[in-house]
Chains A and B, each alone.
Chain A
Amino acid sequence: MNEDLRRERASATFNPELLTHILDGSPENTRRRREIENLILNDPDFKHEDLNFLTRSQRYEVAVRKSATLVKKIREFGISDPDEIMWFKKLHMINFVEPVGLNFSMFIPTLLNQGTTAQKEKWLLPAQRLQIIGTYAQTELGHGTHLRGLETTATYDPETQEFVLNSPTVTSIKWWPGGLGKTSNHAIVLAQLYTQGKCYGLHAFIVPIREIGTHKPLPGITVGDIGPKFGYDEMDNGYLKMDHYRIPRENMLMKYAQVKPDGTYVKPVSNKLTYGTMVFIRSFLVGEAARSLAKACTIAIRYSAVRHQSEIKPGEPEPQILDFQTQQYKLFPLLATAYAFHFVGAYMKETYHRINEDIGQGDLSELPELHALTAGLKAFTSWTTNTAIEACRMACGGHGYSHCSGLPNIYVTFTPTCTFEGENTVMMLQTARFLMKSYDQVHSGKLVCGMVSYLNDLPSQRIQPQQVAVWPTVVDINSPHSLTEAYRLRAARLVEMAAKNLQTEVSHRKSKEVAWNLTSVDLVRASEAHCHYVTVKLFSEQLLKIQDKSIQAVLRNLCLLYSLYGISQKAGDFLQENILTDSQITQVHQRIKELLTVIRPDAVTLVDAFDFQDVSLGSVLGRYDGNVYENLFEWAKNSPLNKDEVHESFYKHLKPLQSKL
């Protein structure tokens, strides 16, 4: 092991194994996760080549091969818990991109949620066994998050009892679905349903797209790959154009809405249930944000302990770059953020499971709030993580730019999270809508509960005007609880400000929609402040649950750093609203620098506790043993570009260039 890393690990103030247990949820979870990881690491079928040296088409092929092996192995090893399948896939797939992924993550769940018993009987087993491969086709070339704008039509023909699916325009071509380009032979297609001359909105249809046996597109179907992307090389995101393509009536998913053989439309009872799936996906995405950021921090912090550069004092050997204040200031707040988001993700998953039980008992009352608030958290965590991964990459200097660092891959794989499953700005505005609704409710005299209950305390909402004294002006910058209060105040003030600006715009102009648009920058800001508050709150509450004193101490420092760093970045809000004074802000800056020094000795151990195997980091810079330079050199030598000492382009282009002159 590299000497610097050995020393770092020896100096830690806590046992990383205990922290790993907390992150996994329990020692038992840690044990089981490692057991599964070892299954993969010890299995010769899973030996993998370095994807960085392959072309896109080769990467796709490798991914398909792995997907096929995966299906067999999961069955063989008897793994069925969704979390465990996730662990299994993540290690196996490195960046977790699989062409048949949507078959399991979208096709089957949609079938389960929206299919009738007969439909499940017909399609479920073949899909689970990959005898058919399905995908889920929603977004179109010209339409994304705004579902009502989708143009694909499904027109019912009672004569033949068939639906006629059609892509009437270029903008209506289905675009982006994963696995659609080359892999899938079926797709669940979302289309505007027309029957008896009337449009009934979006519904889901199972559409065969490729011929069984030959895999050729069926007549009336144009399907293909949408071409190269920023990342996701392994995935054949596809397009689908349907030309008056007929499918049987039974292929419409009819658990809720139905079309009778004569074309009569039967309305669904409630659509709130689909909220549940979205909440689940968002909780998963927040967890992914935490994991991706944790990986990036692991790489950047380990490398910063190995890399030596410049001088702090002349004459002394070059210091580890992790000893530079600026490097600590770049990385430690991000490390704290990775921990914070981990706890947010865990909270969302717990809440989802709790509410799912309520739903089982027919209680849907909490769903709208949860749906609205998780939208913002997905946007908040993915935006922050997106920037943070890039910051980690840049903190590795030039080597971060090489694919050997693994960081470019982590980034390009993560960044679509900002746009898929709901574009982030739209998500923030959904949360804002809920915040405005809650604000109005308080304004009209009703109390609100849950994460927005702070709106009950706004001074302007009180019947008797009170002095500013209602607000605790003395924030103790060493108390996570007190800092949570400060964030709570900021959220309350920004929500109120957005609400008032919205009212002003409404009073100037008639249309609510125009007023909403002209306030939307404020509304997004209010949502962000709300999500920031929730994150600080969840992190500080987590501290109370930790038994081990040494771990509690180190997490408390991270929690303080996360909270104070946020204040320093948004100092304007805290000053403008008189939540903190000038001198407190100066103290905040000072305290942050102290915390950097306090966290420094534990930094490497804090990333070790994330417990990523080298193979799942996929990074030469982030290796556990720290032997960076030797392996960097080996990696480069393995590059196919170095196969011949003299590249053929020398003979083709350079030599003639030299001789012609």
Chain B
Amino acid sequence: RMGSPARVSMGDAWSWQVHPDMESERRQPSFDVERLTNILDGGAENTALRRKVESIIHSDPVFSLKDNYFMSQNERYEAGVKKKFHLHMIAQRLGWSEQSREFRYAFRAVTGDLALGLHHIFLKSLQSLGSEEQIAKWAPLCHEFRIIATYAQTELGHGTYLQGLETEATYDADTQEFVMHSPTLTATKWWPGDLGRSATHALVLAQLICSGARQGMHAFIVPIRSLQDHTLLPGVTAGDIGPKMDFEYTDNGFLQLDHVRIPRENMLSRFAQVLPDGTYIKLGTAQSNYLSMVVVRVGLLLDEINPLLEKACVIAIRYSVIRRQSRLRPSDPEAKVLDYQTQQHKLFPQLAAAYAFHFMGTSLQEFFQESYSAILDRDFSLLPELHALSSGLKAMVSEFCTQGAELCRRACGGHGYSKLSGLPSLVSRVTASCTYEGENTVLYLQVARFLVKSYLQAQASPGSTPKTSLPQSVAYLTAPDLARCPARRAADFLHPELYTRAWAHVAVRLIKDSAHHLQTRLQSGADEHEAWNQTTVIHLQAAKAHCYYITVKGFVEALQKLDHEPAIQQALQRLCDLFALHGILSTAGDFLHDGFLSGAQVDMVRSAYLDLLFLIRKDAISLTDAFDFTDQCLNSALGCYDGNVYERLFYWAQKSPTNTQGNPAYQKYLRPLLQSWRSKL
């Protein structure tokens, strides 16, 4: 094998032998898998470092995920805390900082199955919203775990809409304190991770009231549990919100504050201050509070959400070359299910999306790095675009990853329903991303507002130089557009310029339509807000098309940089083509609508698409191997590198506590039921 370490796992006798059906898939790779892994990691040295970290983690029994599927919520939580603690010790010993690559890789190796994840969000928020003095005071306490902090924003009755939050922070100039208070039941903070049982401090988002005026949402550091015995402080009610679909290792919690007093210095004050006498001073824009959310969203894409889809693809595609079902020809043995066109049609678009999002996430990360320091210096010119991009991509990536992971699960038939496949956990974890850190519909509509605004801006300045004033991601609104697609044959649709322009055309048309719909409503006398609500369905459509266009374009541009790796470039190019064409077929109506594509051209797209499935088939295993997930981190009986699916499934099932811990239900209920038969024998 090319370079990567031995990947057999578990020490089971059969795992030393790669299944012949898997072996044959890897015999003649059309490109160097190791080099693709290096590209995905951002360099060979990163790959080496990642593997080093993974081997440290995997050789440590504390991090074993073996029993995960058999544990109760309580056990998962306890293990989550234990692992966090243990990882922290290792990180200290080896000198990994929380921002380091090593730490990211460790997080990946333990599959994020750690408690106290909000600690990290607290820190990011502190660094975005806190003054230098505040950062200097709280960050070390946090790093050293002298306090355990969480971030408390959503309430029982309120979510994504920040202004609707009810929790109050009323400034008392006499004592120079804020009085933190939950005035209603619906104001109860609800959902924050680590809040239920772990956190000692919470960064509470609350309405600031000072000198009798409401000043909107601000962030306050509130101590909630005793640092001595961990009991709740006076005036604080908190607990766990009960069982969820997943995230069992995190104690998502609730919090009620009853006139809890905190010092004035506990309000984060990079962008706004309350002076001792109660004077309110604003230093940033209204959007600056959103900054910490932007930071979090950008990080989520590559570190949390997309890997869940990648893993689902690895598991489903590997299983599909081992599973055989029916025959393709009467004389042949049963065929690998991956040889069925319908199976390829289910799985390959998901694989293509995972790669698309990887490259898109990487370029967003780069843009973010460029703009973040400017914003911290209170230059907000790039913030609207950064906000729109991160909102739109978070919505799109989480939506596609959720649907994709579920498709992968169902593509594994009955076995995909078993937790031992690993897929149910991936699905139930990724699906949370559609509502956390901003509900997707709300996020798409924020993008739509940005698009309408940019479009109107482009319209308002004809003749002048709108391109320079339009943010880069929407510059295409003023680019020359084609009325008809020039393609004449199916093969024409394999040209990136052609399908990128097609996507640009459709996005521009929908943005134009949505802006016009809005204008028409306004001109017919509807008020601004009613008009917006009555046109949101089309705004949603426009925002989605825009995000798809951005992603296609990002994928194409990323591949242009791979000229020095022609074999890899070719394999990825097919995925890129597939991603673009699959999107066109899924929304063919939008492309046919104004005659941009003809019916005959849609047929060409379909035929090009089906041919791509066949071409990608032979690279499928290599493309999933390149993600380089260890067996331990996949934790799937169906998706292991060696392909010994059935042995592993049988072996793992036998370890289930349902088989090792007796059957009390028999003694209590089944036995009495069966009694009458016994007497007849």
Interface positions of A (Cβ within 8 A of B)? 52-53, 55-57, 60-61, 64-65, 67-68, 71, 126, 129-133, 139, 141-146, 149, 170-171, 173, 175-176, 181-183, 185, 212-213, 215, 224-231, 236, 239, 307-314, 318, 323-327, 329-330, 386, 390, 394, 397-398, 400-404, 408, 412, 415-416, 418-420, 423, 425, 429, 511, 513-514, 517-521, 524, 568, 570-578, 582, 585, 589, 592-593, 629-630, 632-633, 635-642, 645-650, 652-658, 660-661
Contacts and interface: CB of A to CB of B under 8 A. Distances in A.
A228 B420 contact: yes
B242 A326 contact: no
Contact of B416 (A61, A170, A227, A419): A419
Given A142-B323, A182-B663, 4 more contacts: A213-B678, A313-B529, A633-B254, A654-B85
Contact of A423 (B339, B413, B589, B671): B413
A146 B665 contact: no
Given A141-B649, A149-B326, A514-B328, A227 B589 contact: no
Contact of A639 (B240, B330, B434): B240
Given A52-B242, A133-B670, A326 B646 contact: no
B588 A576 contact: yes
A472 to B, nearest CB: 19
B481 interface: no
A341 B329 CA distance: 37
B666 interface: yes
The 9 tightest CB contacts between A and B, nearest first, are A571-B589, A572-B588, A131-B677, A230-B424, A639-B242, A225-B658, A227-B656, A310-B161, A576-B599
A398 B593 contact: no
Nearest to B678: A213
Nearest to A567: B589
A579 to B, nearest CB: 11
B592 A571 contact: yes
Contacts of A635: 242
Contacts of B418: 226-230
Nearest to B656: A227
B517 to A, nearest CB: 10
17 contacts: A171-B646, A212-B678, A215-B663, A229-B417, A229-B418, A231-B417, A311-B164, A312-B533, A325-B534, A326-B540, A397-B435, A416-B417, A513-B330, A514-B329, A520-B341, A571-B592, A576-B592
Contacts of B653: 224-227, 239
Nearest to B116: A654
Nearest to A62: B665
Select the residue from A71, A231, A404, A419 with max chain B CB neighbours within 10 A.
A419
Interface in B43-102: 69-70, 72-74, 77-78, 81-82, 84-85, 88-89
B439 interface: yes
A330 B445 CA distance: 14
Contacts of A325: 533-537
Nearest to B252: A402
Contacts of B345: 521
Contact of A517 (B341, B439, B603): B341
Interface stretch (B150-158, B274-282, B306-314, B483-491): B150-158
B215 interface: no
Chain A binding surface SS class: helix
Chain B binding surface SS class: helix
Contacts of B229: 646
Select the residue from B69, B339, B593 with max chain A CB neighbours within 10 A.
B593
Interface string B129-145: 00000000000000011
B341 A313 contact: no
B358 interface: no
Select the residue from A65, A226, A639 with max chain B CB neighbours within 10 A.
A226
B320 interface: no
Contacts of A639: 239-243
Given A224-B653, A401-B431, A511-B329, A53 B243 contact: yes
Given A133-B674, A400-B435, A653 B81 contact: yes
A576 B652 CA distance: 51
Interface in B373-402: none
Given A65-B669, A401-B245, A657-B145, A57 B82 contact: no
A311 B537 CA distance: 17
A145 B159 contact: no
B324 to A, nearest CB: 7
Interface in B206-225: none
A227 B70 contact: yes
Contacts of A649: 77-78, 81-82, 197
B199 to A, nearest CB: 10
Given A61-B668, A64-B670, A145-B325, A398 B656 contact: no
Select the residue from A64, A307, A329, A404 with max chain B CB neighbours within 10 A.
A64
A416 B417 CA distance: 7
A401 B540 contact: no
Contacts of A572: 585, 587-589, 591-592, 602
A175 B413 CA distance: 13
A397 B231 CA distance: 31
Interface string B651-681: 0111111110101111011111110111011
B328 A236 contact: no
Interface in B394-441: 406, 409-410, 413-414, 416-420, 424, 427-428, 431-432, 434-436, 439-441
B602 A576 contact: yes
Interface of B: 69-70, 72-74, 77-78, 81-82, 84-85, 88-89, 144-146, 148, 154, 156-161, 163-164, 185-186, 188, 190-191, 196-198, 227, 229-232, 239-245, 251, 254, 323-330, 334, 339-343, 345-346, 406, 409-410, 413-414, 416-420, 424, 427-428, 431-432, 434-436, 439-442, 445, 527, 529-530, 532-538, 540, 585, 587-595, 599, 602-603, 610, 646-647, 649-650, 652-659, 661, 663-666, 668-674, 676-678, 680-681
B670 to A, nearest CB: 6
A287 B196 CA distance: 41
Contacts of A571: 588-590, 592-593
A633 B185 contact: yes
A35 B302 CA distance: 55
Contacts of B85: 653-654, 656-657
A593 B534 contact: yes
A170 B73 CA distance: 32
Nearest to B666: A215
Contacts of A408: 244-245, 428
Contacts of B82: 649, 652-653
Nearest to B344: A521
B593 A57 contact: no
Nearest to B68: A228
B230 A513 contact: no
Given A397-B435, A661-B144, A308 B157 contact: yes
Contact of A654 (B154, B198, B594, B602): B198
A106 to B, nearest CB: 16
Contacts of B325: 143-146, 149
Contact of A513 (B323, B329, B436, B442): B329
Contact of B242 (A313, A636, A655): A636
A239 B669 CA distance: 22
Select the residue from A145, A181, A641 with max chain B CB neighbours within 10 A.
A641
A127 B432 CA distance: 44
A46 B215 CA distance: 54
Select the residue from B197, B419, B680 with max chain A CB neighbours within 10 A.
B197
A309 B78 contact: no
Nearest to B77: A649
A639 B339 CA distance: 48
Given A230-B417, A308-B157, A401-B431, A132 B677 contact: yes
Contact of B673 (A60, A130, A641, A660): A130
A227 B646 contact: no
Nearest to A425: B342
B414 A324 contact: no
